[in-house]
Amino acid sequence: MVETLLQGVLLGSLYALFALGLSLMFGVMRLTNVAHGDLVVLGAFAAIAIATVLPWHPLAIGAALLVPGFGFGYALQRYLLNGTLGKDPLPSMVVTFGLSIVIQNALLQLFSADPRSLDAGALGIDSVQIGAGIALGTLPLLILIISLACTAALQLLFDRTALGRAFRAVSDDREIAELMGLDASKIYALATAIACALITLAGVLQGMRTTVSPSDGPLLLLFAFEAVIIGGMGSFWGTFVGALILGVVQQIGFHFDPGWGIWFGHLVFLAVLVVRPRGLFPRTH
Amino acid sequence: MNTILSLRPEHSAAIPPSVSIGAPANPAARHMAWVATGGAIALAASLPWWGESSWMREFVEIACYLIFAMMWNLLAGYGGMVSIGQQAFFGIGGYAMLALGNLAGVNPFIAVPLGAIAAGVIAVPVSWVAFRLQGGYFAIGTWVIAEVFRLSFANLSVVGGGSGTSLTALRGISKATREGITYWTALACVVASIALVYLFLRSKRGLALLAIRDSEVAAESQGIDVRGMKLAVYVVAAIGAALAGALYFLGNLRISPDAAFSVNWTAFAIFMVVIGGIGRIEGPIVGAIMFWTLNKLFSDYGTWYLLGLGLMAIIVTIFFKQGLWGWAQQRYGWTLFPTQRRLGK
């Protein structure tokens, strides 16, 4: 049982990386990015494509991809998504939904439907012995550390820096923030850029830990979304804990029957929604 | 707007402007339109006697797309509830029809409307969960709910589990009879759905719905029961989506959880509505015909075809905000189903 819980926490920490970007984009501009999961898969496939050409370790490829990921996110928001924002959530949803279909089918065309993974070498096999007969993989532990660091960094950025203050300002009232001299379209672009850098990192780690295939995106979007809602909106630590809860719940489900893990996770998410519609750890400004 | 009104005192509140629906009344033209509609339906109904069976199959397919897209349009375009989870009701309609036919011995053609009603009943408790979320999060939340139904049906061995099952209740009925009755059922469903949505939108409740779409707060302050209205629209849209699903699997004769609860159904509905123009009855009709045509011409290209659909949805959303039909309507002043209200003098 202890092992199931620990495995769940490790799984959840990867979900937290998926969820942080979604939480950031929704928090700053109320944008629901339906292509979120597909962008994670795109990040993984970018790394897989590079790994066939360059003999680098996947972690080095992941680090190198952060900059293009950031740039991609900036351009995506600046030149495509900003024009769809407004009171009506429909245009941005249709555009990101369209983007999701484009990414899925482009990847399918380029890489076929086969699941692929990134070879993490010794890192993928090593494990750490803790206590009585329980061994945890080194890679999942590394993902937990990266995920903790990203959550802490994002929360600090949001709470303590000038950029974070700008994020909160445009989130509270775009028009007043613009009167104060902020350029909302650039701030939105920076938020999506940071989200996409996180998404790329999450995709590479997902590709190292397990396999990815072009049609995986929607499921990853749902996991990220569930983590955000379970945790409660407005706080990245809430999202992180929400993701851990989702990971643990799924792992418990998998323990009973491999076919039930995801189903059980969905049910717990819906239960939280009914009992605590604002999530377990809501924080409003 | 306010400044213009204040400059023209004859438009003061003392003289309430009369509200008329749609285009200026022209009795002769309207009469012609009704005759033409009746004639078209009669002609369509006689198709089994002179048409080919492949035409009937094609029609049933278009009918399913059309009804499903129309109900998504009602939900999102008029009710303001953008959902990515309507495939939940599509699948429930299909499975309810099949279970009633195979397990309870109900005639499958009668099971089609019964399955739709079953989905309407299920939609009520589902709304308690879904309505906890708003905007974009409502959309993804409904998607999760649809996934719960998919995974649940995949674990129900009585309807074949993950690999699905066949509609065995139609065994013993000749192919010609089956195709003919399926076609008539589809035609009746299409006519009923269009009439239902059209009459609903022209009714007082339809006006309330438009008020809610424009501003929930303002509508509520005018005494409109916003929650009740939204629930009513959600249930009607669920019934319609289930009708499309029941019809589709009646024509298809085979169901599986992955086919019945596929997110592609909603993706296609969004595509049709956005191409045709959201928030207008003609939108899904134009969209469904365009989608079907594109499907016939290009679906052999597989991934490239889907990629093109995704790109087209993006381009139309950005450059033709009213959809292609809405664009034409604005440019040429066409209208088939007048539901907008104009202030008279």
Contact A98 B314 (CB under 8 A): yes
Test the A interface: residue of B317, B319, B322 with most A CBs within 10 Å: B317
Which residues is B255 bridged to in the sheet?
Answer: B165
Residue B38 forms part of a structural domain: no
Number of domains composing chain B: 1
Q: Give the burial class of B103: count Cβ atoms within 10 A of its Cβ; 0-12 exposed, 13-18 middle, 19 or more buried.
A: exposed
Test the A interface: residue of B138, B140, B143, B298 with most A CBs within 10 Å: B140
Mean pLDDT of A112-137: 83
Mean pLDDT of A215-223: 94
Cα–Cα distance between B22 and B342 in angstroms, integer? Answer: 7
What would the pLDDT profile of A83-100 be if each residue is shown by its tens digit? Answer: 888 888 888 999 999 999
Test the A interface: residue of B303, B309, B311, B315 with most A CBs within 10 Å: B303
Nearest-by-Cβ selection for B143 from A91, A222, A259: A222
Residue type, B97: M
In the A/B pair of chains, how many CB contacts fall below 8 A?
122
Cα–Cα distance between A84 and A81 in angstroms, integer? Answer: 5
Contact B318 A273 (CB under 8 A): no
CA angle B66, B85, B156 (to 5 degrees): 105
Residue B343 pLDDT level (bands cut at 50, 70, 90): low
Among the ranges given (A9-13, A128-132, A281-285, B84-88), the one the predictor scored with the smallest mean pLDDT: A281-285
| Phi (first) and psi of residue B13, to 5 degrees | -65, -20
Residue A211 pLDDT level (bands cut at 50, 70, 90): very high
Closest CA to A158 of A189, A184, A194, A200: A194
Residue B312 forms part of a structural domain: no
Nearest-by-Cβ selection for A94 from B263, B307, B313: B313
Do A47 and A58 contact (CB within 8 A), yes or no?
yes
Choose from B16-20, B166-170, B337-341 the range with maximum mean pLDDT.
B166-170
Which residues is A137 bridged to in the sheet?
Answer: A127
Residue B30 predicted with pLDDT over 80: no
Residue type, A249: V
Sign of CA dihedral B205, B211, B214, B215: negative
Per-residue b/e over A26-64, b at no fewer than 16 CB within 10 Å? Answer: bbbbbbbbbbbbbbbbbbbbbbbebbeeeeebbbebbeb
Cα–Cα distance between B330 and B69 in angstroms, integer? Answer: 22
Contact B152 A106 (CB under 8 A): no
Mean pLDDT of B190-215: 86
What would the pLDDT profile of B252-290 be if each residue is shown by its tens digit? Answer: 889 999 999 999 999 999 989 988 888 778 888 888 888
Read off the DSSP letter of residue B15. Answer: S
Contact B143 A101 (CB under 8 A): no
* Its pTM surpasses 0.90: no
Residue B12 predicted with pLDDT over 80: no
Closest CA to B186 of B284, B61, B290, B37: B61
Q: Which pLDDT score, from 0 to 100, does residue B302 have?
A: 83
Work out the mean pLDDT of chain B and round it to a whole number.
84
Cα–Cα distance between A50 and A208 in angstroms, integer? Answer: 14
Residue B342 pLDDT level (bands cut at 50, 70, 90): low
Residue B153 forms part of a structural domain: yes
What is the least distance, in Å, from the CA of A34 to any CA of chain B?
8
Residue A177 predicted with pLDDT over 50: yes
The set of residues, in sequence order, having a beta carbon less than 8 Å from that of A40 and lying 6+ positions away, is: A18, A199, A202, A203, A206, A217, A220
Nearest-by-Cβ selection for A99 from B155, B263, B310: B310
Cα–Cα distance between B18 and B14 in angstroms, integer? Answer: 12
Contact A101 B263 (CB under 8 A): no
Determine the 3-state secondary structure of A52 from DSSP. coil
Spell out which chain B residues touch chain A, with contact meaning CB-CB distance below 8 angstroms: 76, 82, 84, 128-129, 132-133, 135-137, 139-141, 143-145, 147-148, 151-152, 154-155, 263, 267, 270, 274, 278, 303-304, 306-307, 309-314, 317-318, 321
ipTM of this predicted structure: 0.91
Radius of gyration for chain A, computed over Cα atoms and rounded to the nearest angstrom: 19
Contact B128 A262 (CB under 8 A): no
Mean pLDDT of B211-216: 82
Residue B15 forms part of a structural domain: no
What would the pLDDT profile of B67-124 be if each residue is shown by its tens digit? Answer: 999 999 999 888 888 999 999 999 999 999 999 998 988 888 999 999 999 999 999 9
Mean pLDDT of A116-145: 85
The dihedral region occupied by B197, where left means phi > 0, alpha psi between -120 and 50, and beta the remainder, is: alpha
Q: Which pLDDT score, from 0 to 100, does residue B6 have?
A: 36
Which residues is B21 bridged to in the sheet?
Answer: B341
Q: Which pLDDT score, from 0 to 100, does residue A109 have?
A: 93
Q: Which pLDDT score, from 0 to 100, does residue B100 have?
A: 93
Residue B2 forms part of a structural domain: no
Residue B223 forms part of a structural domain: yes
Q: Which pLDDT score, from 0 to 100, does residue B17 have?
A: 45
Range of the domain at B95: 49-262
Nearest-by-Cβ selection for B140 from A31, A32, A277: A32
Q: Which pLDDT score, from 0 to 100, does residue B336 have?
A: 66
* Distances from the Cα of A263 to the Cα of A40, B147, B152, angstroms: 22, 8, 8
Cα–Cα distance between A274 and A285 in angstroms, integer? Answer: 23
Residue B3 predicted with pLDDT over 50: no
Q: Which pLDDT score, from 0 to 100, does residue B25 have?
A: 55
Residue B254 forms part of a structural domain: yes
Q: Pairing between strand B19-21 and B165-166?
A: unpaired
Residue B7 pLDDT level (bands cut at 50, 70, 90): very low
Do A92 and B305 contact (CB within 8 A), yes or no?
no
Residue B344 pLDDT level (bands cut at 50, 70, 90): low
What would the pLDDT profile of A185-202 be if each residue is shown by its tens digit? Answer: 999 999 999 999 999 999
Q: Which pLDDT score, from 0 to 100, does residue B2 have?
A: 38
The set of residues, in sequence order, having a beta carbon less than 8 Å from that of B29 and lying 6+ positions away, is: none
Residue B205 forms part of a structural domain: yes
Residue type, A168: R
Test the A interface: residue of B83, B84, B86, B137 with most A CBs within 10 Å: B137
Q: Which pLDDT score, from 0 to 100, does residue A161 have?
A: 93
More confident residue, A133 or B57: B57
